[in-house]
Structures are given as C-alpha cells and as structure tokens.
Amino acid sequence: MADEKKYLLGKTFFELKETVASLSMPTFAAKQIADWLYKKKITTIDMMSNLSVANRTKLAENYTVGIKEPIKTTLSKDGTKKYLFDVGNNKYIESVYIPEKERATLCVSSQKGCQMNCLFCATGKQSFAGNLTAAEIINQVQSIDECDNLTNIVFMGMGEPMNNINEVLKAIEILTSDYGYGWSPKRITISTIGVLPALKTFLDSTQCNLAVSVHAPDTFKRVQIIPGEKAYPIKDVLKLLKEYDWSHQRRVSFEYILFNQLNDTEEDALKLADLLHGLDCRVNLIPFHQIPDVDLSPSKRDVMEKFQAILEKKHITATIRRSRGQDIDAACGMLSTKKINQTL
C-alpha cells in the first residue's frame, strides 16, 4: 500500500543522496529526483522520466512521492481560503491562503495542535498530537492550486515552529536551496513566542524573517496571555535579538494582539516602546478574534489607533493589521481541528 511507503517529499538533497546510495542508484539521480520533486512538482515516481525504468521501479518499491491533497477547502468572503489536511490517525491540520493585491501568502502549520496554551489561541486549546514532518510542511505548500503563485510563506498556522525546529529548518532548506524551490529567505517568516534555545539555532542557521508574539510588554501581564513567558521571558528574548543585525538582510516584527483593558493602555504602549528600544523592527497590532470559552474582548478601534500613535511617536513603525478569513475561523488565533471529526 502506498501509504506504508516512505515519502520522498520533504527530503533534503543530502537525504536524497543517501536514498539513492542505499538503492545502488547513481549519485546524480539525487539531483534528478530533487528536480522532479521540487521544481517540476510531480506527483508520482512514474513521472520521473529521465530515471531508468529499473531505477523508477526500485524507487517505487520503497517510496512514494508523498503529495496529499487537502481534504477540504473553505472559502471566505474576502478571498481567504482555509485548507484542511489529513495527517493520519484521525488528526488534521489547517493552512490558510491569503491573497492580497500584490502578495499571495500561505500560512502553514508546523505541529498537530500546540503545547504552549496561549490564552487567546484556539490551537492551544486542542490536544497536542505531535510534530509535523518536513514532508507534511512542504505538502501544505505543494499540494494546493496556488503553489506556483505564492509570494510569501509564513509559519503562523498551528503550532510553535521553534518546538519543531529540526523539521522546520529542513522545510526552510528545501524552500530556499537551489536544488529546491530556490526562494529568497526574505519571502519566509517564522513566528514564535520566543522559545530560546531553538530561536538561537534558527537565527544562526537561516536568513528568514522573524515574527515574535509579544502581546504584553512585561512579565506580569505576558504570563497571563502566554504561559511560555515563565520559561522564556520576553526580556531574555529581546536580549538575544539585540545581538543580531536586523538592518539589512532580514526583518524582525513583533505581533501584538490588543485585548480590551488587558494590554491596551498608554502605559503598555510606552513599556513596549522601551522594550523594543534600539532594535530595527516593526510592530503589527492585531485585533483579537473571539474564540469559544475565552473571556477576553477586542480593544476598540480608537484605542488601537492611540496605541499605534504612541509607538510611532517613539519612532517605532506600527501597523494595525486587517483581519482576514474571520468568517471561516481562519484569522489569527482561530485555527483549530478539535471538532473536525464532527464536521467532515
């Protein structure tokens, strides 16, 4: 059965070389397979026409390509599309395609659920069922109709990417290497609450952009919103980030969801400006999207604008983000596959 075979998708060039060696195929076949997988984006081994029939047969006895199309697509009235993927054992993940005037962004998941349990996030409320493999991450990109039109990929879907750093780095390598998609790392952004050892590994091994979920400027408030603050205090995250140069290659942004009377005061804005002082960065102010059983409400528009103005006055670029896909539960913090079995 095809599903019992291993996947070629998600393998780095190094791993493909190991694969062909283990099947006594010539080394150059690794380059040919990488081309078929990541440039021509074929779906079956049969389609690898410059491999000999004998080698294709050998490969197909042990492997399958590993492309799995989404099992459900939900379209928002604003054009946003939510894709649902079956990742086996009755577990599901979601990705969100966000078309804009000059960009087409795919928001991908890195885990089945999440262990971080952030207060505002539907993913954090469902049980954690493990990490996604690089194949399952790349499949979210490669199996959708819009794959060849994408301009950006953001790791802001389900899961904390830094808690699955090895597979996330493999997926990034495939997306940015010449043998793979050949994308500039500037087109990729990884979002994190600031899981420290992995964050350093990420910063040292890629030039991708970074988005840090800050959501409160001090430990007292942040720990109520992001329990991970206890293990990874935001001040330590900032200390690490300030050791890197953000003025040229890549960008760091800070995500800040504004909750009514929790983190939206003038004092919060001033503290945030202090925290970020000295860092070449931008702040994205995000409206809170209500989720079931969470007793929080969004800040009013004028409060958001006042918060933005305080940051701007302190010379920090701040943008109020537009919600996308809220009507299909695809906006920031809303992804969840907890009830999927009831709706399929």
Residue 211 interacts with ligand SF4 (CB under 6 A): yes or no: no
Check residue 123 for interaction with ligand SF4 (CB under 6 A). yes
Minimum distance of ligand SF4 from residue 125's CB (angstroms)? 8
Q: How many CB atoms lie within 10 A of CB 323?
A: 17
* Part of the chain binding ligand SF4 (CB under 6 A), chosen from 38-46, 115-123, 241-249, 262-270: 115-123
How many angstroms separate the CA atoms of 97 and 108, rounded? 9
**Does 193 contact ligand SF4 by CB under 6 A?**
yes
Q: Which amino acid is it at 275?
A: L
Residue 86 to residues 93, 94, 136, 170, Cα–Cα distance (Å): 7, 9, 10, 21
Contacts of 151 (CB under 8 A, 6+ apart): 102, 103, 104, 105, 187
Record the tokens describing residue 190, joined without a space: 């990884």
Q: How far is the CB of 174 from ligand SF4 (least distance, A)?
A: 22
DSSP state letters, 30-54 = HHHHHIIIIIS--SSGGG-TTS-HH
Q: Which is nearer to ligand SF4, 33 or 114 (CB)?
A: 114
Alpha helices, DSSP H only, in the chain? 13-22, 28-34, 53-62, 134-142, 165-176, 196-205, 219-225, 234-241, 266-276, 301-313, 340-343
> Is residue 160 a contact point for ligand SF4 (CB under 6 A)?
yes
Nearer to ligand SF4, 64 or 163 (CB): 163
Q: Which of 114, 118, 208, 332 is catalytic?
A: 332
Exposure string (b/e) for 254-274, b if CB count within 10 Å is 16 or more?
Answer: bbbbbbeebbbbeebbebbbe
Size of the site for ligand SF4 (CB under 6 A): 11
In the complex, least distance from residue 114 CB atom to ligand SF4, rounded to whole angstroms: 3
Smallest distance from the beta carbon of 188 to ligand SF4, in angstroms? 17
**Residues 16, 42, 96, 116: which binds ligand SF4 (CB under 6 A)?**
116
Q: Does 118 sit near ligand SF4 (CB under 6 A)? A: yes
312 in active site: no
Beta-bridge mates of residue 209: 189
Q: Any contact of residue 225 with ligand SF4 (CB under 6 A)?
A: no
| Known catalytic residue at 332 | yes
Q: Which stretch binds ligand SF4 (CB under 6 A): 36-44, 118-126, 147-155, 296-304?
A: 118-126
Six token digits for residue 4:
């019992």
Interface contacts to ligand SF4, rule CB under 6 A: 114, 116-118, 121, 123-124, 158-160, 193
Show which residues are catalytic.
94, 332
